[in-house]
Amino acid sequence: MANVTRVLVANRGEIALRVMRTCRELGIPTVAVYAEPDARAPHVYFADEQVRLEGPSPRQAYLDIEQLIRVARDHRADAIHPGYGFLSENPAFAEACATEGLTFIGPSAASMRAMGNKVESRRRMTAAGVPVVPGTAAIADEAAALVEAKRIGYPVMVKAAAGGGGIGMRVAKGAEDLPAAFEACRRAAQSSFGSPDVYLERYLSHPRHIEMQVLADAHGTTLALGERECSIQRRHQKLLEETPAVGLSESRRAAMAAAAVKAAAAVRYHNAGTVEFIVSGDDFYFLEMNTRLQVEHPVTESVLGVDLVREQIRVARGERLPSDGYPAPRGHAIEFRINAEDPLRNFMPAPRRVLRYAPPTGPGVRVDSGIRPHQEISAHFDSLLLKLIVWAEDRPAAIGRGRRALQELVLTGPKTTVPFHRALLDEPDFVNGRISTGFIDEHPGLLERTKAFATEGSPLEPLYGGGEIAAAIAAGAVVAGER
């Protein structure tokens, strides 16, 4: 059995706090790390020990493997949880932990490598009998791309081989679009992932993005824990997730679950992971596997009543998962990503100091947050501020609960995605489950309704400070009682 008696959480914000909460429930002390902009962040105060990271930039500080290993060793941590993002899918980090005798709460470096390169993962999935979107291996140059695109058939998607998250993706509707798309994707791939390798996939019109949560132990048990609908996106990145996926038949659900288990088993996967599929008509295809805990894991937890971080720790310790699985999912859950972004300016990041903040409460409402009132939101990091999760007995009730919770949320200072989510829940096509990854582009009126909600605010805002306090904070005055 591996040791997990003191955990260094190699992350920040809401996910760091999320992991620490489970550790505290289990009686496991935690060590927080932070770069200078996060010195007063909630996760730093919540941990049992706090260590400042040094680096040429705040982001690079969180990516310094040698420094993180040294901090873990110096502060007697015997395990590291990477959260998501940063080093969570970096095989070198997992290997460094193993070399130093630290338990990495995640999959093996070998599994990460197998799924981290999208071309290699496509090859493995094909060999395992998992359906993949028609596509190519890595493409060497523009001329080869033109030949392969003609073979696949336009439109095609140009994608980075070494990364995910929608970064670098370009669509070429015809041969005239391909050279620019190819070059732009190569530049983005080199910049974001350190590799210019790209490949082509057939572009599927009006698809849905549905993923399957998996959990696997080292004793041969691999479980699929249900799907999540992730089709509401901007720039190929998710804004809202829900489970179960609306309109998905039981036979399709079972087939996708079986494919996800095959995918994980093909790379000898252990711990929590997510197999992502693109769904078009009656067909579904493997997209990629995220070899980590997902941002949207709370919706799965909500319908199952299972703490996935607790299960991650159990697997990392070498414990067995229940061979007969977990209780059947119950009800419907929706997660709203509340980002510091301006929906009316193409969701551009809008980092600013938080003036007033009070999360919603009440039945079936969960908030995973990494912010506090008067906190300066740094431009160095991802724009996610918090996740609002609602659960109810069915989808219509969950939508109603989401409307109430979004209206109740008090968050002023940065522009956020709250008005967009409020408008989305009033969009008939969303309410009726007629969704695809192109939903925002296909509903131009959605942003007009977003504009109306942006001027409304929460009726509870007057309870959490008035204009004089906000003005003082904006001017840089020290707030009484702030640590």
- d(CA 77, CA 458) in angstroms, rounded, equals 43
Active-site residue flag, 404: no
Place of tokens 């309870």: 463
Q: Tell me, what amino acid is at 392?
A: A
Tokens read off for 23: 């550790």
Residue 367's closest CA among 349, 385, 340?
385
Q: Tell me, what amino acid is at 117?
A: N
Q: Tell me, what amino acid is at 235?
A: R
At 393, phi and psi to the nearest 5? -70, -25
Out of 6, 124, 292, 366, the active site residue is: 292
The C-alpha angle with vertex 190 and arms to 189 and 194, in degrees rounded to 5, equals 110
Distance between first and last Cα of the chain? 40
> HSE of 437 in the Cβ direction (CA atoms, 13 Å)?
18
3-state secondary structure of 202: strand
Residue 371 is classified by DSSP as -
Contact 11, 84 (CB under 8 A): yes
Contact 299, 355 (CB under 8 A): no
DSSP 308-355: HHHHHHHHHTTPPPPTT--PPP-SEEEEEEEESEEGGGTTEE---B--
Contact 260, 212 (CB under 8 A): yes
Q: Tell me, what amino acid is at 247?
A: G
Q: Which residue numbers are catalytic?
A: 292
